[in-house]
Structure 1
Amino acid sequence: MIVLGYNGFTRGAELFGRLYGARGIDRNLLVGHDAAAALVIDGEVVAAVEEERLSRVKKTSDFPVNAINWCLESAGVELDQVDVFAFPWRFSATVGERMISRICDTDLSVPAKFDALRRTGELYTGMLGPDAVYDDFVRRTGHELDPNKLALVPHHLAHLMCGAYLAGGGDAAFLVSDGRAETLSSVMGELCNGVVRVFDDSAVDMTSSLAVAYGRITRYLGFVPNNDEYKVMGLAAYGPPPGHNPLLERVVRLHENGSYTVSVPRDCDAYYALFDDLFGGDSEKREEFDFRVKVAGFAQHMVEAVTAHQLRALTAASELDHLLFEGGLALNCVANTKMLERSSFTGMDVSFGASDPGVAIGAAVYTAGLRNRPADAVTTPYLGPSYDEQHTLDALAEYADRVEWQEEPDGASVADRTAELLAQKNVVGWFQGRTEFGPRALGNRSILANPAFPDIKDIINVRVKHREPFRPFAPVVLTSEAPRVFEMGKKTSSPYMTFVFPVREEYRERIPGACHVDGTARVQTVDERQNPALAELLRAFTARTDVPCLLNTSFNVAGEPIVCSPRDALECFLATEIDYLVIDRFVVTKRDR
């Protein structure tokens, strides 16, 4: 059975921009953001890529025509050979009725209600509804699809199935929390023998979205909502835990069943006024670092307190000892670690597709049948495009007036030469194999550096990434070495940078570049099976330097998608102060170095 999952709407940006003013800093607040496609053949995910990697439009919500075409071409599959197309949104007639009722039940004036109904109606008929989804597919692909071959999967179910598949199946309690699905923002329950049971009484309406509240604080602090929340998470570490939190006192109400209510105005001016009142802020204070740290601490503490509240209810209702956490909020790796360590769960998984790129995988997996996952299926984030040697040589030739290169004979030589470069204070672009799926660079499209240099973070932030100097970087370490360097708690590995751990005291001075201000690090573990080239490089680097890890950040600059092709890599290399670029077996330098 062949199933293609995809996420994205052609008219999303146009309709949300015209109807709701979602432009500029709010440009990512669109249904269908992080558009992507994934191909499942006989129960196994064989290809997946985000549309942004190919179109080069960051966080695009557009219909993923490039991603669909690449997935099919990579597997030698034609559109008419696909058995089912799975879409991770299900705005059914029942959901439409709820949308209408919600507007009618508000205290808006009659003219305001009619205006809201008009806008919602245009959005539903022009984009969200089943007929609009079908028409969008036919128009963009040119394929006259049998309507029975289009499966609409509820959004939170797609999130859950992505996490369940990538965790290898098995029974687990689950929590899904994101900005919004069709009508909800968070659900929890159990997955047993492939059957999902949602604890309906603990579901949270989308009007009380914790992730949206965090995003509005992100915007309040001058960052881009639904994109820069990790900056807020990073800033929070610069201050002590808050003694009292006005957000928990005046904005959030926790309910006994594990649900909660979040009261933040939707209008931007109104929530700016609310936050100024809560935090003692104004337009000038919002620019001050200490004020930003204070507010970030409140926001982070709010997430940790609310998710802990949810887990208390979940553990009371479920006897399962393993937790799946998916949805955009699951990218808050600081909260993830605290959730696990402070709960009775013995294990917890957060996938590399936890945010909305993963719903393309989840919709396809659900439609194909989770139980049909082959026993020997490999769980890997390396599901995107790869490029052969000729493609690399053609790209190098295109830039031959600006770069020169040396070809290494084999993988071992590449690892030794790169380790030699990294032993010094060089920043290296590392481009190997298939593109990673998801928001994190996991060692195939990465920028690497030596964490033993205390100022290496400043060098990369300012000279390479062109971003704020307070931003931390993740260390990548061999799985076998991780417990020696980091306090891993209940975790034995962290392959997708979805957990944060304290750096052991004896290593903090040895890898200062990988330590955040609070002595923690967002760790990526790797082994020979997951990524042989990166594992070989780590062994060569450690042997040469006695430094047990490398600093790993995404191969891009602020505001651009992670590079995908050799040409993308060369463009980024030449536009920044990256010192060397390693593409497969080719070590590239700038002619004017």
Structure 2
Amino acid sequence: MIVLGCNGFSRVSEFFSERLGATGINKHYLLGHDAAAALLIDGRLVAAVEEERLNREKKTTDFPTRAIDWCLREAGITFDDVDVFAFPWNWSPQILDEILNGIRTSPLPEAEQAELTGTMRDLFEQVVSHDAILADFEARTGHRPDPAKVRFVPHHLAHATTGYYLAGMKDSAFLVSDGRAERFSTLTGEIRDGRITVFDDTVTGSEFSMGTLFSAITRFLGFVPNNDEYKVMGLAGYTAPPTPNPFVDHLLTLHDDGRYTFAKPLRTDDVHSHDALFEEYFGPFEDTLEYKARVAAAAQQMLNVATAHQVSRLEKRTDLDHLLFEGGVALNCLNNTPLFEGSRFDDMQVSFGASDTGITIGAAAHAWLNDPGTGPAERLAASAPVTPYLGPAYDDAAIEEALAGFTGRVHATRLDDDELVEQVAKLLTKKVVVGWFEGRVEHGPRALGHRSILANPGFDDIKDIINTRVKHREPFRPFAPLVLEERAPEIFDMGRKTSSPYMTFVFPVRDAYKDRIPGAVHVDGTSRIQTLTDEGTPRLTALLRRFTALTDTPCLINTSFNVAGEPIVCTPTDALKCFMGTEIDYLVLGNHLVTKSELPDGR
């Protein structure tokens, strides 16, 4: 059975721009972002890639034409071979009626109700309805899927299934929390034997969306909502939350059933609906680190309190010991460690596809799991945890072709694996920055060692060098360390966690190591780590082992191979352009060690 999952809409960005003013820094304040495609064959994920990696538009909402084409080519199939087309949205007429009834009963003035009602009708008919999605598919691909082969998976169920499938399909409780799905923003439930049970009384409407509220705070602080929330997380480490915290004490209300609400509901059609309230709480906006950090710390504490309340109720509703946390809010790694440590669950997993980058995987897996032909034997055969390295790879011929386009500007030497590891490990003993490009592109928002920038965390000023000379971004931004999984608990206080392969958890750095890896320690004494194993990333793990042997420094800095505002590099040419446009010192392209020709002695 072959299932193609896809997410993205040709007109959604244009529609939100024209009708709701979602332009400028608000351009991602909409649905359909993180367009992507994924392909399952007999339950095995054989290909998945985000459209942004191919069209080079960060967080693109566009229909994933390139991603679909690549997935089909990678598998050597055509549309005629696909058994099921899965979409991670289910905007049914009933959903539209419920949304419109909510508008009619809202306290909005009659004129605003009428305008918003018209907007939602047009959004449904032109962009997100079943007919609109299939028409969009046909217009962009030339293929009209047979309706009998189409599955529209509710957005949050796609999120839950993403976590379940990527973790190896172990029976699990789940919490899904994001900006909004068709109507809701968060829910909890269980997955047993591939079947989802939603605890209906825990469902929270989009007017009380923690994800949307955090995005509104991100925008208020001058950053791009639905894109720059990690900047708010970084700022939160610079100060303690205020006491009292107006977000917790005045805005947030916790309910006995595990839900939460806000004293002032969100206007999801108005990105500025809470700006006045934020200034009432914190005073007029000031473009200073102190002001932004105070708001960020307050927002972070609010998010922690709300999700801990949900999990506390969930653990009383289920006898399962494994927890999945999915949705955009699950990328708030500052929250994940205390959330797990404060629970009774034996383990908690946040997948590499937790945000909307992964919902095409979840939609495809949901369609496969709910097919009559998928039984226990089929699930068992496909039950191994899934690697994040799912996108395009480039062989020596492709790399050499890309290098030819930079003739005279770069010098490249081809090495075998052992030579490459040895030379790069020696280079990293110095204060240099290395672009690292190998294998298939990783899926999701984090660079996980196939499209990464590496550096030695033993230098106090290496963060400033990378932020200013390479990434072209704010100086307060922290960097994540790579660490061998077997050594991680020695260096970081990991509590009950034993691994963190996807940079989704943050841990305190043990005192004995803070001075040894200063470049990877945030101002609050923590690090968002990626644990490495020989099985998962063999050559990168070998590099870290050799680097540690040379320096007695047990970590390497790992940040995404891109500059601010651009997607992570995908092709060798992308990598070379980024290399030449920044002050990255060396570039590894597969087995080629590349330097800039202007460097003395070919360095």
TM-score, L = length of structure 2: 0.96
Q: 1:591 aligns with which of 575, 594, 597?
A: 597
Which position in structure 2 is the counterpart of 1:261? 261
Partner of residue 473, structure 1 = 479
Shift of 1:375: 4.5
Q: In the alignment, which residue of structure 2 is the partner of 1:421?
A: 427
Q: Do 1:134 and 1:150's aligned partners in 2 also have CA atoms closer than 8 Å?
A: no
Match of 1:69, SS state, is helix
Aligned to 1:278: 281
Write out per-residue CA displacement over residues 319-339 of structure 1, whole angstroms, 9 at most, x where no aligned residue: 222110000000001100010
Match status 1:398 vs 2:401: no
Paired residue secondary structure (2:476): coil
Is 1:509 the counterpart of 2:512 in the alignment?
Answer: no
Closer, same or farther in 2 for the Cα pair 1:240/1:106, shift >3 Å? Answer: closer
Deviation, 1:193, is: 2.3
User: SS of 2:160's equivalent?
Assistant: helix
1:189 alignment partner in structure 2: 189
- Contact 1:514 1:551 (8 Å CA) reproduced: yes
1:486–1:504 CA contact under 8 A, matched in 2 = yes
What secondary structure, in the 3-state scheme, does the structure 1 residue paired with 2:428 have? helix
- Aligned-pair distance for 1:113? 2.4
Deviation (angstroms), 1:376 = 6.2
Partner of residue 373, structure 2 = none
RMSD (Å), alpha carbons = 1.2
Q: 1:537 to 1:50 in 2, by over 3 A?
A: same
The structure-2 alpha-carbon separation of the partners of 1:143 and 1:479, relative to structure 1 and needing over 3 Å to count, comes to same
User: Over residues 263-301 of structure 1, what are the superposed CA-to-partner deviations in whole Å (9 max), with x where a residue is unaligned?
Assistant: 25533444221111111223xx2x011111110000000
Is 1:576 the counterpart of 2:592 in the alignment?
no
Give the SS at the match of 2:274: helix
Taking a change above 3 Å as real, the CA distance of residues 264 and 455 of structure 1, as seen in their structure-2 partners, is: farther
Which residue in 1 is equivalent to 2:55? 55
Are the aligned partners of 1:5 and 1:38 in contact in 2 as well (CA < 8 Å)? yes
Amino acid at match of 2:37: A
1:453 corresponds to which of 448, 451, 459? 459
Partner of 1:41: 41
User: Where in structure 2 are the equivalents of 1:123-272 lying within 5 Å?
Assistant: 123-262=123-262, 263-266=264-267, 267-272=270-275
Q: Is residue 254–residue 309 contact of structure 2 (8 Å, CA) maintained in 1?
A: yes
The answer to whether the 8 A contact 1:251-1:264 is kept is: no
Question: 1:264 and 1:576, CA in 2 relative to 1: closer, same or farther beyond 3 A?
Answer: farther
Q: Which amino acid aligns with 1:582?
A: V
Q: Which amino acid aligns with 1:277?
A: E
Q: Look up the SS of the partner of 1:423 in the other structure.
A: coil
CA distance in 1, matches of 2:307, 2:47: 33
Any idea what the Cα deviations from partners look like across 1:397-425, whole Å, max 9, x if unmatched? 100121111111x1111111110111111
Aligned: 1:498 with 2:501: no
1:169 partner letter = M
Paired position in structure 2 for 1:11: 11
Mapping for residues 526-541 of structure 1, pairs under 5 Å: 526-541=532-547
Q: Which residue is 2:570 aligned to?
A: 564
Taking the aligned partners of 1:219 and 1:264, their CA distance within structure 2 comes to: 17
Indicate if the aligned counterparts of 1:213 and 1:264 stay in contact, CA closer than 8 A: no
CA distance in 2, matches of 1:268, 1:312: 31
Q: CA deviation at 1:554?
A: 0.1
Q: What letter matches 1:492 in structure 2?
A: T
> 1:175 aligns to what SS in structure 2?
strand
In the TM superposition, residue 249 of structure 1 has moved relative to its aligned partner by 2.1
Report the AA paired with residue 85 of structure 2.
F
User: Contact 1:264/1:271 (CA < 8 Å) preserved in 2?
Assistant: no
5+ long unaligned stretches in structure 2: 371-375
**For residue 525 of structure 1, what is the aligned residue in structure 2?**
531
Counterparts of 2:107 and 2:244, CA distance in 1: 33
Q: Is the 8 A contact 2:236 2:297 kept in 1?
A: yes
Unaligned runs of 5+ in 1: none
CA distance in 2, matches of 1:109, 1:312: 38
Q: What is residue 90 of structure 1 aligned with on the other side?
A: 90
CA contact (8 A) 2:411 2:596 kept: yes
Letter in 2 for 1:97: D
Contact 1:19 1:119 (8 Å CA) reproduced: yes
State percent identity of aligned pairs: 55
Query: Structure 2 CA distance, aligned partners of 1:306 and 1:472?
Result: 25
Work out whether residues 213 and 266 of structure 2, in 8 Å CA contact, stay in contact via their aligned partners in 1. no
Contact 1:242 1:301 in 2 (8 A): no
Q: Is the 8 A contact 1:48 1:384 kept in 2?
A: yes
Q: TM-score, normalised by structure 1?
A: 0.98
Q: Structure 1 residues 579, 245: CA separation in 2 closer, same or farther (over 3 Å shift)?
A: same
Aligned residues: 589
Alpha-carbon deviations, 1:474-511, whole Å to 9, x = none?
00111111111111111111000000011111011000
Alignment check: 8 A CA contact 2:85 2:145 kept: no
Q: Distance in 2 between matches of 1:32 and 1:151?
A: 17
TM-superposed deviation, 1:108: 2.9
Report the residue type matching 2:73 in the other structure. E
Deviation at 1:148, TM superposition (A): 1.4
Residue identity opposite 2:407 in structure 1: A
Task: Please give the alpha-carbon distance, in whole angstroms, between the structure 1 residues aligned to 2:165 and 2:385.
Answer: 10
Read off the aligned partner of 1:490 and give its amino acid letter.
R
Following superposition, the deviation at residue 107 of structure 1 comes to 2.7
- Larger mean CA deviation between 552-561 and 527-536 belongs to 527-536
- Equivalent AA in structure 2 for residue 81 of structure 1: D
Task: Give the conservation status (yes or no) of the 8 Å contact 2:399–2:589.
Answer: yes
**Structure 2 CA distance for aligned equivalents of residues 241 and 288 of structure 1:** 16
CA distance in 1 between counterparts of 2:119 and 2:220 reads 26
Counterpart-to-counterpart distance in 2, 1:414 and 1:6: 38
- Residue 442 of structure 1 aligns to which amino acid in structure 2? L
Moved more, 265-274 or 573-582: 265-274
1:412 paired with 2:415, answer no
Provide the C-alpha distance between the structure 1 equivalents of 2:320 and 2:273, rounded to a whole number of angstroms.
42
Q: Measured at CA, do residues 523 and 311 of structure 1 come closer, stay the same or move farther in structure 2, by a change above 3 Å? A: same
